[in-house]
Structure 1
Amino acid sequence: MKKINYTPAALLRALAAFLLLLLLHNQAVAQIPQDVTAKLDAYLSAHQAQGTFSGTVAITQHGKTVYSKGFGMADYEATIANGPDIKYRIGSVTKSFTAILIMQLQEQGKLNVHDKLSKYLPDFPNSDKITLQHLLTHTSGLPDYVMLWKDVNTKPATNQQIIEFFKDYALEFEPGTKWKYNSTGYILLGRVIEVVTKKPYDKVLARQILKPLKMQTAGLEFSAPVAGLAKGYNNDGLERKAARYIDMSWCHAAGAMYATPADLAKLDAALQTNKLLNEASKKEMFTPVMKNYAYGWVVDSVHQTQRISHSGAINGFKANLIRLPAHNISITIMSNYESQQINGPISSDITAIVMGAPYEVPVARKMVQLSAEQLGAYVGEYQVGPKMIFKVTLEDNLLYVGAAGQESFAIFPEAEDKFFVKVAPAQVTFEKDADGKITKMLMHHKGKVMPAARLN
């Protein structure tokens, strides 16, 4: 090989070019901070101590696991710990898998997302108005059957039986004109997949995604028990109790999957390549149509980078798959607590920790005892705006706050006139006049304050 002699000036130019490329690379691809393990441990341990998190968190970058750890118990009665090998229900993250299956069928020429639903389900009401894209993007106008299923979802049902259950409900708006999240559309997409492939949805899911990606601990849960599945719990800040039973067949293509964090990391890795879909299909699937919602994915930005994600919630479980493609990072959060914080503040803070951005560690708060007479002074109605009134009620020596038509939450005294919320990073304070009468309630959340004037 011919030897090349570099002059000092040429060497300096080459070194400068190399350093510039290195700088540009580091700007483009953020590296997860070295102290991420210590920060995540401290943050998640604090939430576990407060009863707002129980589950497993896993982080990968460039296909390598950076963090994977469980907190709390997968089964509190049997004292089985949470960890990377525990399976969790992932709820609506299932929708992302269903969207991928639809795009695969489009690549194969077996359907088109702009097809009318009537092409596949001609007997379904309004199917000539609704396209597959409407179903994928929550713009169909169909009501959410999840809001209607409480009295029937404890017994097994086929996909067709679920469709029969909701098919006669009227549209809430003209298809394509508005956005409203619903699981109904994905039940119909699951049925479309079955009609087109002439195979059950779970078989198509296994053949097209789970087996190629070697997702051996993922699947679709119907009525049969799943070995190694965590037990789901509700925790309202007062007590931990087993979640209400649901027969998972009612969730089908909209939310019946279970998985481990490693399974979802494999999905992220595959979407970084063309193993499941070609570039054109991925571009279409990840392009928002309305309200940052694409085809089975939420696409927005966080910390100056694109975020592609989907969350799930189902009777005692919460899940979130967060993809940061520019940095080849995936964040998987799986919980067997139906805590309101998991798909909100906890997901946001974990992302911030991974990206080296500011975040808040939950503060340990101690409850003090107030007399029934002291607590009774806060009971009443408080008005935020012309159409929003909050009621403060007293039950079993605890105060509850709730707006009309919404579930109330308990507030716990840490001082007179000062209360904290266990199910969310929020506080409630009260103001008095010169005579000591309560005149105002103030709700504090992440530096913002919402005042509410007392009405009675």
Structure 2
Amino acid sequence: MKKSIMNRVATAKYLVAALVVTMALSISSAYAQVQKNLSAKLNEYLDAHLGQGTFSGTVMVTEKGIPVYSKGFGMADYEKQLPNGPEVKYRIGSITKSFTAVLVMQLQEQGKLNVQDKVSKYLPSFPNADKITLHQLLSNTSGLPDFVNHWQNVNTKPATTTDILALVKDMPLEFEPGTKWKYSSTGFVVLGQVIEKVTGKPYEKVLAQQILKPLNMKASGLEFSKPVAGLAKGYNHDGIDRKLAKPIDMSWCHAAGAMYSTVTDLAKFDAALKGNKLLSEDSKELLFTPVMKDYGYGFVIDKAGDKQRISHSGAINGFKANFIRFPEQDIAITILSNYESQQVNGPISSDITAIVLGDKYEVPTVHKMVNLSPEQLAPYVGEYQVGPKMVFKVTLTDNLLYVGAPGQDTFAIFPEAEDKFFIKVAPAQITFEKDAEGKITKMLMVHKGRAMPAARIN
């Protein structure tokens, strides 16, 4: 009898163990299928943008700190045919601001500064320093003019922070500090100076000692004047041909945008922001609390649907970048591109987020360009009235039509038929209508289902 009971107990234990294993395998299989579906959707979407010439770079998605998707598209160096991938380094532009903000909060925890301090406490000779706080610099509410709007003719030679700030230091504040919000890289260069003042060290050493080395971010740093091994080349592909981006000396970006990194390293940064390795919970609450316009300290805090999103984007010659976090879902998305494509920080970022979250998105159509002669393109040149105060001007340069409006950049439109064109800088198409005599009378731009008709006025 005793042996029979023991046998039944052993059998029951075996059945329970077998059930647990079966359930685990079932869950694992289901998760693998979800991951496979995610990869298939992202591959299809990004392959389409690669084919269209609107994306080149690497994308990583992590869940609970574990990569569930990591893949490069196109080339890090098209001349040498070196492929993009997780270990390729990219300029990340203004994502640097997020790191600068973390450094400031660390120094506050160390008692070396306070975000409510006036700038004059650290940089007494800086104009309006007695009006502006570190809090306002961090949150883009300082009123300082953005030096990036004034660096075009000087940014190819090395610069110090003094050189950078000299571009705007004599300009008046754009508004009384704390009353409005306006994005300004100037404030983060000033924060870089404050960091150097209170630590007695160059910004790049503080960054390395307090963030990069503790997180083992060996593939990240500041790109000043010396070349960085393994850094992708930056390109512009808005025209017919892919071209190297305009040169820039990255010392001009300093604490506002001079960093390079990889998707792998930025995943480490995301993981560290979840715990207390970099900052206390109180400091992170300040970092991730919007002050104005959904902007906290070096991070944008908004929502994608009903899900909280913490993010920052970057744009610098030849590169676009997105660092996106969903803390409640424990998901992070990093998009690093070595194309200046305007779609990266717009539709591509939005669509990749939608794919990851299971929301609606649209795979872009890969348009095929046809060759039209200058004589065929010339009839489209002219002005088109969109609204009472908006006129599109169509011009012809080097056998390519360009569309622009007063005060805005022009963009190329590429023919896929004699009267039908597509755009690379946005997911949009343009068609032209003719009258009975064959004269162009109207231009119709369609963007995400929205039609913008424009009547020809000359």
What TM-score, normalized by structure 2, do the two folds share? 0.90
Supply the AA of the counterpart residue of 1:221. E
SS at match of 1:321: strand
Q: Check conservation: 2:354, 2:361, Cα contact below 8 A.
A: yes
Equivalent position to 2:138, from 136, 139, 144:
136
- Separation in structure 1 between the aligned mates of residue 91 and residue 369 of structure 2, nearest angstrom: 33
Aligned to 2:28: none
- Separation in structure 1 between the aligned mates of residue 212 and residue 372 of structure 2, nearest angstrom: 55
Give the drift of 1:268. Answer: 0.6
Aligned to 1:385: 387
- Separation in structure 1 between the aligned mates of residue 78 and residue 374 of structure 2, nearest angstrom: 33
Q: Name the count of aligned residue pairs.
A: 426
Give the drift of 1:453. Answer: 2.7
Supply the AA of the counterpart residue of 2:90. Y
- Structure 2 vs 1, CA of residues 230 and 370 (structure 1 numbering), >3 Å: closer, same or farther? closer
Aligned to 1:7: none
Q: Check conservation: 2:147, 2:186, Cα contact below 8 A.
A: yes
Give the drift of 1:34. Answer: 4.1
- Separation in structure 1 between the aligned mates of residue 140 and residue 364 of structure 2, nearest angstrom: 34
Give the drift of 1:146. Answer: 0.9
Give the drift of 1:78. Answer: 1.3
- Structure 2 vs 1, CA of residues 181 and 32 (structure 1 numbering), >3 Å: closer, same or farther? farther
- Separation in structure 2 between the aligned mates of residue 249 and residue 363 of structure 1, nearest angstrom: 39
Give the drift of 1:372. Answer: 3.5
Q: Check conservation: 1:116, 1:132, Cα contact below 8 A.
A: yes
Runs (5+) with no aligned partner, structure 2: 1-32
Aligned to 1:437: 439
- Separation in structure 2 between the aligned mates of residue 219 and residue 84 of structure 1, nearest angstrom: 16
RMSD value, Cα = 1.6
SS at match of 2:157: coil
Q: Check conservation: 1:32, 1:356, Cα contact below 8 A.
A: no
1:206 aligns with 2:208: yes
- Separation in structure 2 between the aligned mates of residue 386 and residue 114 of structure 1, nearest angstrom: 46
Equivalent position to 2:93, from 91, 94, 99:
91
Give the drift of 1:373. Answer: 4.0
Q: Check conservation: 2:49, 2:366, Cα contact below 8 A.
A: no
Map 1:260-271 onto structure 2 (within 5 A). Answer: 260-271=262-273
SS at match of 1:349: helix
1:119 aligns with 2:121: yes
| CA deviation string 1:167-225 (max 9, x = no partner) | 11222222222222121111001001111111111111111111111111111111111
Give the drift of 1:433. Answer: 4.0
Equivalent position to 2:41, from 39, 42, 48:
39
SS at match of 1:35: helix
Aligned to 1:226: 228
- Separation in structure 1 between the aligned mates of residue 34 and residue 194 of structure 2, nearest angstrom: 41
1:152 aligns with 2:154: yes
Aligned to 2:451: 449
Supply the AA of the counterpart residue of 1:233. Y
Give the drift of 1:371. Answer: 4.5
Supply the AA of the counterpart residue of 2:243. K
1:256 aligns with 2:253: no
Map 1:408-419 onto structure 2 (within 5 A). Answer: 408-419=410-421
- Separation in structure 2 between the aligned mates of residue 32 and residue 309 of structure 1, nearest angstrom: 25
- Separation in structure 1 between the aligned mates of residue 347 and residue 165 of structure 2, nearest angstrom: 35
Q: Which deviates more, 377-386 or 336-345?
A: 377-386
- Separation in structure 2 between the aligned mates of residue 123 and residue 112 of structure 1, nearest angstrom: 19
Supply the AA of the counterpart residue of 2:434. K
- Separation in structure 2 between the aligned mates of residue 223 and residue 326 of structure 1, nearest angstrom: 40
Supply the AA of the counterpart residue of 1:71. F
- Structure 2 vs 1, CA of residues 94 and 32 (structure 1 numbering), >3 Å: closer, same or farther? farther
| CA deviation string 1:395-444 (max 9, x = no partner) | 23321101113221111222343211123211112233454433322221
- Separation in structure 2 between the aligned mates of residue 434 and residue 139 of structure 1, nearest angstrom: 56
Aligned to 2:195: 193
| CA deviation string 1:347-380 (max 9, x = no partner) | 1111111111111111121223445444222211
Aligned to 1:292: 294
SS at match of 2:211: helix
Q: Check conservation: 1:319, 1:343, Cα contact below 8 A.
A: yes
- Separation in structure 2 between the aligned mates of residue 248 and residue 194 of structure 1, nearest angstrom: 18
Give the drift of 1:278. Answer: 1.0
Aligned to 1:330: 332
SS at match of 1:383: strand
What TM-score, normalized by structure 1, do the two folds share? 0.90
- Separation in structure 2 between the aligned mates of residue 369 and residue 160 of structure 1, nearest angstrom: 50
Supply the AA of the counterpart residue of 2:137. L
- Separation in structure 2 between the aligned mates of residue 133 and residue 82 of structure 1, nearest angstrom: 38
SS at match of 1:420: strand
- Separation in structure 2 between the aligned mates of residue 351 and residue 101 of structure 1, nearest angstrom: 28
Aligned to 1:51: 53
- Separation in structure 2 between the aligned mates of residue 59 and residue 367 of structure 1, nearest angstrom: 33
- Separation in structure 1 between the aligned mates of residue 264 and residue 252 of structure 2, nearest angstrom: 26
Q: Check conservation: 1:420, 1:426, Cα contact below 8 A.
A: yes
Q: Check conservation: 1:439, 1:454, Cα contact below 8 A.
A: yes
Give the drift of 1:230. Answer: 0.7
Equivalent position to 1:100, from 99, 102, 109:
102
SS at match of 1:428: strand
Supply the AA of the counterpart residue of 2:102. I
- Separation in structure 1 between the aligned mates of residue 34 and residue 148 of structure 2, nearest angstrom: 38
Q: Check conservation: 1:319, 1:334, Cα contact below 8 A.
A: yes
Aligned to 2:352: 350
- Separation in structure 1 between the aligned mates of residue 371 and residue 82 of structure 2, nearest angstrom: 34
- Separation in structure 1 between the aligned mates of residue 295 and residue 452 of structure 2, nearest angstrom: 29
| CA deviation string 1:309-332 (max 9, x = no partner) | 000011101111000111111111
- Separation in structure 2 between the aligned mates of residue 412 and residue 154 of structure 1, nearest angstrom: 31
- Separation in structure 2 between the aligned mates of residue 227 and residue 37 of structure 1, nearest angstrom: 30
Equivalent position to 1:341, from 340, 343, 361:
343
Aligned to 1:313: 315
Supply the AA of the counterpart residue of 2:241. E
- Separation in structure 2 between the aligned mates of residue 75 and residue 234 of structure 1, nearest angstrom: 13
Percent sequence identity over matched residues? Answer: 72
Aligned to 2:274: 272
- Separation in structure 1 between the aligned mates of residue 290 and residue 446 of structure 2, nearest angstrom: 32
- Structure 2 vs 1, CA of residues 126 and 73 (structure 1 numbering), >3 Å: closer, same or farther? same
Give the drift of 1:249. Answer: 0.8
Q: Check conservation: 2:59, 2:263, Cα contact below 8 A.
A: yes
Aligned to 1:164: 166
